[in-house]
Amino acid sequence: MIEKTFVAIKPDGVQRGLVGEVIKRFENSGLKLIGMKMQWLDKEFALKHYTEDISRRRGEKVRELLVDYIAEGPVVAMVIEGIHAIEIVRKIVGSTEPRTALPGTIRGDFCHVSYDHADKFEKAIRNIIHASGNKEDAEYEIKLWFKDKELHSYENSNEQHIR
């Protein structure tokens, strides 16, 4: 089942120079990068990314913190394709709370902040990366961030092994 999913390296990941390492992890797993760009987000776009659903699940204050966080520096947005890409990417990324992310995951290896710490300082949790949570989110986020002409179809060498 070939899927597409959305991934964004957040400002802290870009600022720390982790873009190459993050891409390497996805490519090493056999997933394929089919779209990528860097951009600064304005508040209007950030609110489209962090939808009102975030407010219903986590509260409006958390949404506001996330919007401010993702707009504080450049973001690298990507579309990744592969068999069960959504699930595989989520495993590679690790738990949303870095403190509980397993070693070997992106968050487990590159950050350690807890929800408690972020709450104490009234900041969004710095966790380097965003990955779509499910198929519906992936479809919405890909359409929000990318035009069809920005996504590319090609065969990579890993695909020889999955047919």
Helix (H) or strand (E) holding 80: strand 75-83
How much is the pTM?
0.93
| Tens-place pLDDT, residues 90-108 | 999 999 999 999 999 999 9
User: Percentage of residues in the chain with pLDDT exceeding 70?
Assistant: 96
* Residues acting as catalytic residues: 130
Number of C-beta neighbours around residue 20 at 10 A: 8
Residue 53 — pLDDT band, cuts 50, 70, 90? confident
| pLDDT at position 55 | 63
* Nearest alpha carbon to residue 35 among 156, 157, 162, 149: 149
In which residue are the tokens 């690298």 written? 76
Helix (H) or strand (E) holding 37: strand 32-39
What is the CATH topology of the domain spanning 2-148? Alpha-Beta Plaits (3.30.70)
